[in-house]
Amino acid sequence: MAGIDDIMQKVLEALPYRLTLDDGIEAARAGFRDLPRPPAHPEVAAADRRIDGPAGPLAVRVYTPPTAGPAAPAVLFLHGGGFVVGDLDSYDGMARRHAAGADAVVVSVDYRLAPEHPFPAAAEDAFAATEWLAEHADELGVDPNRLAVAGDSAGGNLAAGVAQRARDAGLALAFQLLWYPTVMWDPSLPSFTENADAPILSTADVAALSLVYAGHLDLTDPPAALAPGRAAQLAGLAPAHVAVAGHDPLRDDGARYAELLRAAGVAVTLDVAANLMHGYVAYAGVVPAATAATDRGLAALRAALHPAAAAE
């Protein structure tokens, strides 16, 4: 596997960060919240809303690019953070990047976090927000036949779960964009050993976050609602772009899911950013290699949501 991109390495050395619970939950949340984030796509309008969720009001933020016309496509975006950290503000730039890159309305979801709300709270919130988006398509001015789901890391897990539940509920999705997702829940995969001490996210950090979110379950045999890669039936799911990073414990997790989707007849692209690490989308616009990898995923999302334009 190629080494970490030189520019990326310099950025990591200048701004070291790990998604770790070593100093406790609140320290992890504060550290993540306080990370420097360059502004992205200020031209994209944003409006906060509260919708009905499974356990009460659920906050969402609706992003609309200036190019979005009537009946624009829409993307339900689910942030990462190990199911423990992250919120609408810390993922504001990434949501804006999806809206601009896909030329689509984006609905970002402030789902409930563990340990206050362990599994299945986040998954329930994610699907409730998806149903709300579909049911309120006319009000939002979006095309109910061009809906997609996207998420990074823990959000990739939730997005994959939403795609499965949407299929089972007869809710058609046009695409699923999964950024370095955790879907298999299988620490025996080689990348967990190979990248045990990778930057941003280590194998030990994955284990600690997993316990906080789902430690009340038998994680040696997780249910498909937690580990979408364990689902008995993958056929009939929305086409997917699965993006993984070479220097990430979760690399083989996402790659294995892509293999299973392909074997089930699902159209899937696996994108391996061999010289990057977990969380690279956050460095798009700063590190050229991260920008290029992010642009590949967003181009796939845009093509799926604008098929007529893609065919020209």
Residue 31: inside a domain: yes
Pairing between β-strand 45-53 and β-strand 56-64 as defined by DSSP bridges: antiparallel
Angle (CA) 310-134-231 rounded to 5° is 85
* Gap between the Cα atoms of 71 and 165, Å rounded: 24
Determine contact, residues 157/183, Cβ cutoff 8 Å: yes
pLDDT at 312: 61
Domain count, the chain: 1
pLDDT at position 70 is 85
Distance CA 262, CA 268 (A): 6
Give Cβ neighbours of residue 272 (< 8 Å, ≥ 6 apart). 244, 245, 246, 251, 255
Q: What angle do CA 208, 209, 214 make, to 5 degrees?
A: 105
CATH number at 189 reads: 3.40.50.1820
The pLDDT of residue 103 is 97
Give domain status of residue 1, yes or no: no
What is the model's pLDDT at position 152? 98
Written as six digits, the tokens of 261 are: 């989707």
pTM of the model: 0.97
DSSP string, 123-152: HHHHHHHHHHHHHTHHHHTEEEEEEEEEEE
Asked if residue 43 belongs to a domain, the reply is yes
278 is catalytic: yes
Quote the tokens at residue 298: 């967003």
Q: For the purposes of burial, counting CB atoms within 10 Å of the CB of 29, is it exposed (0-12), middle (13-18) or buried (19 or more)?
A: middle
Q: For residues 166 and 123, what is the distance between their CA atoms, to the nearest angstrom? A: 12
Among residues 248, 252, 253, 306, the one annotated as catalytic is 248
Q: Are 233 and 260 in contact (CB under 8 A)?
A: no
CB-CB contact of 163 with 237 (8 Å): yes
Residue 32 maps to a domain = yes
Per-residue pLDDT of the chain (312 residues), as tens digits, is 689 999 999 999 999 999 999 999 999 999 999 999 988 999 999 999 999 999 999 999 999 999 888 899 999 999 999 999 999 999 999 999 999 999 999 999 999 999 999 999 999 999 999 999 999 999 999 999 999 999 999 999 999 999 999 999 999 999 999 999 999 999 999 999 999 999 999 999 999 999 999 999 999 999 999 999 999 999 999 999 999 999 999 999 999 999 999 999 999 999 999 999 999 999 999 999 999 999 999 999 999 999 977 666
Distance CA 153, CA 80 (A): 5
What is the Rg, in whole angstroms, of the alpha carbon atoms belonging to the chain? Answer: 18
pLDDT at 308: 79
Give me the catalytic one of 153, 191, 202, 210: 153
- Classify residue 51: in a domain, yes or no: yes
Please report the pLDDT score of residue 173 as a whole number. 98
Residues in the chain: 312
Is 248 catalytic? The answer is yes
Whether 216 is a known active-site residue: answer: no
Q: What is the pLDDT of residue 219?
A: 92
What is the CB neighbour count within 10 angstroms for residue 295? 14
Which residue range forms the structural domain that includes residue 285?
6-311
